[in-house]
Amino acid sequence: MSDPRRLPRHVGIIMDGNGRWAQLRGRDRIEGHREGARSVRDVTRAARQLGLEALTLYAFSAQNWARPVEEVTGLMQLLCDYLHDERPELMDNQIRLEAIGDVERLPPHVRAPLDALRADTAHHTGMTLTLALSYGGRESIARAVRSIAADVAAGKLAPADIDADRVSSYLPTSRLPPLDLLVRTSGEQRISNFMLWELAYAELAFVDCMWPDFRRQQLYAVLDQYAARERRFGLTSHQLTERAELSADDSDVELHLDR
């Protein structure tokens, strides 16, 4: 990585293309998911080693429940295996595991190891690995709106206090740094209901390779792409240069804008 100040704090990944990866090889879709779990391991390890603060992986969408039952069952089993197998890695590397989405819908053999690992890693300070499970961006926003409405009805919140920051604070991502970079594999250029609110100023990177082929080298390549971009947050390029010059003396000051 060229410049550590240009490393994103928070990367989100839409891990897409497992099924096609398998079908291209004449194999069952589930084998693509199994190989995809290997990419999850490699990418997580690389992200931790690089010093990312947060990595959020879209593993199963609210809409994916509608897939054929044997695929859903296979995915749940892989998730369960993953949570058992990854425990030592998360424990040894100070990785905090989180989950966003309607996790109540997950079967007990996934819920139990998920809850246990979340609890056992809650004090970790290394990197936050968030799995988006049974997750939908619109569903998340709807849930936040419901909580806001309940707080208003209970007299805990005034309508005038509802601004963008307040809404963010009701989302399940509120404890994470702002999303800096969204990556989607498999060549599809769509968001598929992932982190709709959080994407406001994220950089987007669409890569052609299927998720099972996305390993640390491919991560380094998108991070290099990210580092070369100018994030303006509505300002002019000139304003950004001025700010960078002002902070140049102080090596502790990051080039990130206040967000």
Q: Among all residues, which ones are annotated catalytic?
A: 16, 64
Closer CB to ligand IPE, residue 7 or residue 110?
Answer: 110
Dihedral class, residue 83 (left if φ above 0, else alpha if ψ from -120 to 50, else beta): alpha
Q: What are phi and psi for residue 84, nearest 5 degrees?
A: -75, -45
Q: Pull the structure tokens for residue 172.
A: 């399940």
Closest approach of ligand IPE to the CB of residue 40, in Å: 11
Closest approach of Mg ion to the CB of residue 1, in Å: 29
Torsion over CA: 171, 176, 182, 186 (sign): negative
Residue with the CB atom nearest Mg ion in the bound state: 16
Closest approach of ligand IPE to the CB of residue 13, in Å: 8
Binding partner at 192 among Mg ion, ligand IPE, none, C-beta below 5 to 8 Å by kind: ligand IPE
Closest approach of ligand IPE to the CB of residue 108, in Å: 20
Residue with the CB atom nearest ligand IPE in the bound state: 19
Residue of 59, 52, 54, 53 lying closest to 15 (CA atoms): 59
Cβ-contact 128, 53 below 8 angstroms? yes
- DSSP structural state of residue 63: G
Binding string, residues 206-225; x marks residues near Mg ion by CB under 5 A: --------------------
Q: Pull the structure tokens for residue 183.
A: 């990556």
Q: Is 16 in the site for Mg ion (CB under 5 A)?
A: yes
Binding partner at 15 among Mg ion, ligand IPE, none, C-beta below 5 to 8 Å by kind: ligand IPE
Binding partner at 212 among ligand IPE, Mg ion, none, C-beta below 5 to 8 Å by kind: none
d(CA 78, CA 99): 16
Closest approach of ligand IPE to the CB of residue 186, in Å: 6
Closer CB to Mg ion, residue 32 or residue 113?
Answer: 32
Beta-carbon neighbour count of residue 255 at 10 Å? 13
d(CA 239, CA 225): 22
Residues 6+ positions from 89 with CB-CB distance below 8 Å: 41, 44, 45, 95
Closer CB to ligand IPE, residue 28 or residue 254?
Answer: 28
Closer CB to ligand IPE, residue 7 or residue 40?
Answer: 40
Binding partner at 82 among Mg ion, ligand IPE, none, C-beta below 5 to 8 Å by kind: none
For helices 108-120 and 69-92, what crossing angle results, to 10°? 20
- Degrees to nearest 5, angle at CA 166 with 11 and 128: 25
Closer CB to ligand IPE, residue 91 or residue 103?
Answer: 103
Residues that bind ligand IPE (CB under 6 A): 14-20, 58-61, 64, 75, 186, 188, 190, 192
Q: Which residues bind Mg ion (CB under 5 A)?
A: 16
